Amino acid sequence: MSNSDPAKTTSRGMLKGLTRYGDAGFSLFLRKAFIKAMGYSDSALDRPIIGITNTFSDFNPCHGNVPQMIEAAKRGVMQAGGMPMVFPTISIHESFAFPTSMYLRNLMALDTEEMIRAQPVDAVVLIGGCDKTIPAQLMAAASVAVPVIVIPTGPMLTTTYQGDRLGACTDCRRYWAKFRAHEIDQTEIDAVNEKLAPTTGTCMVMGTASTIACMTEAAGMSLAGTAAVPAVMAERFRLAEFTGRRAVELAQLPDPSTFSSQAILTPQAFTNAFTVLHAIGGSTNALIHFTAIAARLGIQIDLEAIDRLGRHVPVLVDLKPSGSHYMEHLYEDGGLMAILQELKPHLYLDCLTISGRTLGEEIESAQNNKSMARHKKVIRIAAEPIFPVGGLAVLKGNLAPRGAVIKHSAATPALLQHRGRAVVFTSLEDLASRIDRDDLDVRAEDILVLQNAGPKGAPGMPEAGYLPIPKKLAQAGVKDMVRLSDARMSGTAFGTIVLHITPEAAENGPLAAVRNGDMIELDVPKRSITLLVDEAEIKQRLAELGAPEARLEIPATGYRRLYQTTVTQADVGCDFDFMVPVATRSAPLIKE
Ligand code: FES
């Protein structure tokens, strides 16, 4: 690479985004001087520069294979004539994020976006996996013009405990519920703890990480086949190598913006992703994340359209928590492409994917791959679904004027139409201190209500919507109750659980008006959630609460201030309001 005038040269590679010293030639001179300290030659630096995000962290076992993934991606980049440059970003693990991983998702999105923008990369390989990481990376991708390609870390393998196949974290909850109900003792729960996560990788049920990986592939942002291959398998590293190679091709396009996220993530691509969300019985969290990604692109996601979509798309995938298998079985049954094969009548097949082929072409290609013979045990044929309609339903009513969501494919059918007395917990602290008390006035047919666990109230909308069954009821054999909140729920959880009630209680949504003993009616077939209290009385109770800001205790400085003063509600994705463009693009989300 010469030191010629960078202003006269196409702005690629090392010439991109020169640090501003007021003299571009000096900026390039200085940049080269420093990077040569790492031993790079001019010919290495003349190649297309491919950024690779390093989200490895000792606190993130879901990303335990990232070093090997990076090596594989680098190999692919080098094979194709590019120069790989690895850079770190925030890494978020669900169990190592206080107060909750969602609180940090937007920070990771900002970090990733600005590092892509700041550094001279021609294309970027995004390696993510644990729940919030790929959403954060795609939010970043939606805000930059550089082509990016995602490669998930992939799911863990399973093992067994006394012949019972276990997986994180649906079975974490199942065994914890047994422990709370005194069905198993401390020795046994400790033994189970050793077995739940037997390899690196993401949770191996159809939790949030697997859901996001499937939706990302369906939306065209990762190569075909990348969603389901287990984290420790050789094939995953080969896919990382292919991803690196493809990144170089993207970087060398005459106009790389033709494969930017803006070009791939069209309204039709989002429809394909939400169609998959329904068909896999996927995580409710994905609704928020993909809404946030779309919002950054100026695409408004209409929750009622998502609900209508679900009325036509059956659940085809027999995976926990809606079914009974694990991601390794989905992989053996053909992975996402086999699901898409069954879903073809519901998909926009001409959507462009990051590979350069359309989604339809990718499905055809996978079908012709003889090594992916279908067993049809885990991925049902469309005529024999495991649930006749999509996995999620959107509810509205005087308790959730802007919507709420329930994963009815993982709920107790008898509770989907239910009227019960509210047992209210006003905060996470209140829940923790009273749920197991012997004197708690609660019966199996009651409805548990959690307030102030939403985006601003908690803050960070923790996965607290899976309220535990009160111990005395659990010990009496109660397995499920109707539970409502403005919180989220882990994609690995199950039960008759209404989530994301919007507006949240901390914003003086009607959820804040619910009191002990009020009657609530849930009617999922009618898509309604109703507080059976006179409207004037609800208004009066909300007026008595006063201004929300006074109750939130927002600090004067720091990230928490930024978060609580700018985070949006669940129906627009819980992004920072200043990241969502004012102008919106609208397009039909339903293929009529
Ligand atoms: Fe990382 Fe489940 S905790 S994917």
Shortest-distance Cα residue to atom 3 of ligand 1: 94
* Strands of 123-128's sheet in order across: 83-88, 49-54, 123-128, 148-152
What pLDDT, on a 0 to 100 scale, did the predictor assign at position 372? 58
What distance in angstroms lies between residue 22's CA and the mean position of ligand 1's atoms?
A: 46
Q: What is the pLDDT of residues 435-481, one digit of tens each?
A: 999 999 999 999 999 999 999 999 999 999 999 999 999 999 999 99
Ligand 1 center to residue 203 CA distance, Å? 5
Look up residue 251 and give its amino acid: A
Taking only the tens place, the pLDDT of each residue in 502-522 is 999 999 999 999 999 999 999
Q: What is the CATH number of domain 393-578?
A: 3.50.30.80
Q: Which atom of ligand 1 is nearest to the CA of 129?
A: 4
Q: Within its chain, how far is the Cα of 574 from the centroid?
A: 12
**Lookup result for tokens 């627009």:** 572
On the question of pLDDT at 4 being above 50, the answer is no
Residue of 488, 561, 548, 482 whose CA lies nearest to 512: 548
Minimum mean pLDDT range among 255-259, 321-325, 413-417: 321-325
Ligand 1 atom with the shortest distance to the CA of 61: 1
Query: What span, in angstroms and rounded, lies between the C-alpha atoms of 58 and 362?
Result: 36
Question: Per-residue pLDDT averaged across 322-337, rounded?
Answer: 93
What integer pLDDT is reported at residue 368 of this predicted model? 81
pLDDT category at 371 given cuts 50, 70, 90 is low
Phi then psi for 237, rounded to 5 degrees? -75, -30
Contact 149, 77 (CB under 8 A): no
Mind listing the pLDDT tens digit for each residue in 381-434?
999 999 999 999 999 999 999 999 999 988 999 999 999 999 999 999 999 999
Asked whether residue 374 carries a pLDDT value surpassing 80, the answer given is: no
135-161: per-residue pLDDT in tens? 999 999 999 999 999 999 999 999 999
Cα(442)–Cα(435) distance, integer angstroms: 9
User: How many whole angstroms from 266 Cα to the centroid of ligand 1?
Assistant: 28
Cβ(347)–Cβ(313) below 8 Å = no
Residue 201 reports pLDDT greater than 70: yes
Judge whether 47-157+199-280+315-367 and 393-578 match in fold. Answer: no
What does DSSP assign to residue 470? P
Identify which of 133, 202, 489, 492 to mutate to test ligand 1's pocket (most ligand atoms within 8 A of the CB).
202
Which CATH number is associated with domain 47-157+199-280+315-367? 3.40.50.2300
Q: Which of 57, 59, 60, 62 is the pocket-test mutation for ligand 1 (most atoms within 8 Å of CB)? A: 62
557-566 contacts at long range (C-beta below 8 A, 24 or more positions apart): 559/107, 560/459, 563/103, 563/106, 563/459, 563/460, 564/456, 564/459
Whether the pLDDT of residue 591 is over 90: the answer is no
Best mutation site among 59, 203, 289, 326 for ligand 1 pocket (most ligand atoms within 8 Å of CB): 203
**Which residue is closest in CA terms to ligand 1's atom 2?**
203
Residues with a CB atom less than 6 Å from ligand 1: 62, 93-94, 130-131, 202-203, 207, 209
Report the separation in Å between the CA atom of 352 and the middle of ligand 1, taken as the mean of its atom positions: 29
Report whether pLDDT(125) > 90.
yes
Domain definitions of the chain by residue range? 1-45, 47-157+199-280+315-367, 159-193, 393-578
Q: Give the pLDDT confidence of 274-291 residue by residue, as tens digits.
A: 999 999 999 999 999 999
Q: Give me the numbers of helices (H) and strands (E) for the chain, helices first please.
A: 21, 14
For 478-494, the pLDDT digits (tens) are 999 999 999 999 887 88
CB within 8 A of 263, min separation 6: which ones?
Answer: 257, 352
